Amino acid sequence: MSKVLVLRLEGRYFREIQAGVKTLEYRLRSDYWRKRLVGRDYDLIEVTLGYPKAGDSERSMRFPWRGVVEQVIQHPHFGADFVEVFAIPLGGGVVTNDGTRPTGLAAMSR
């Protein structure tokens, strides 16, 4: 069984990832996220648009786990100040729910 990190996203960020514009997902550097990210080894990251129904592939995407990096960024979502975050790389191709990479038209639509 695969170890999957699930990240719930707002619509605009989900669409940016879907379009290939957003390649990093950020989480504030806190004890909560440190326990879930630092020193952990996942197989996949699943990003979802809110809380989709099981099997709703239009509202979820999976990517290979490539670790996490600590950064300091300024982003409107976190306010005007610089903040410390965990940056989670998204990329390396979308992975389907059965753990394979899509081919043909399915791969091109992601």
How does pLDDT run across 64-94, given as a tens digit for each residue? Answer: 999 999 999 998 888 899 999 999 999 877 6
Confidence at residue 56, expressed as pLDDT on a 0 to 100 scale: 87
**In terms of residue numbers, what domain contains 10?**
4-108
Could you give the number of structural domains in the chain?
A: 1
Per the model's pLDDT, the better-predicted residue between 110 and 49 turns out to be 49
Cβ of 55: how many Cβ atoms within 10 Å? 7
Radius of gyration of the chain (CA): 14
Q: Give residue 95's pLDDT band: very low, low, confident or very high (50, 70, 90).
A: low
pLDDT bracket for residue 103 (50, 70, 90) = very low
Report which secondary-structure segment, H or E, holds 85.
strand 83-89
pLDDT band with cut points at 50, 70 and 90 for residue 102: very low
Rounded Cα distance between 30 and 52, Å, is: 26
The CATH number linked to 89 is 2.30.130
How far is 108 from 36, CA to CA, in rounded Å? 32
Query: What pLDDT score was predicted for residue 16?
Result: 93
**pLDDT digits 0-9 by tens, 12-67:** 999 999 999 999 999 999 999 999 999 999 999 999 999 999 888 899 999 999 99
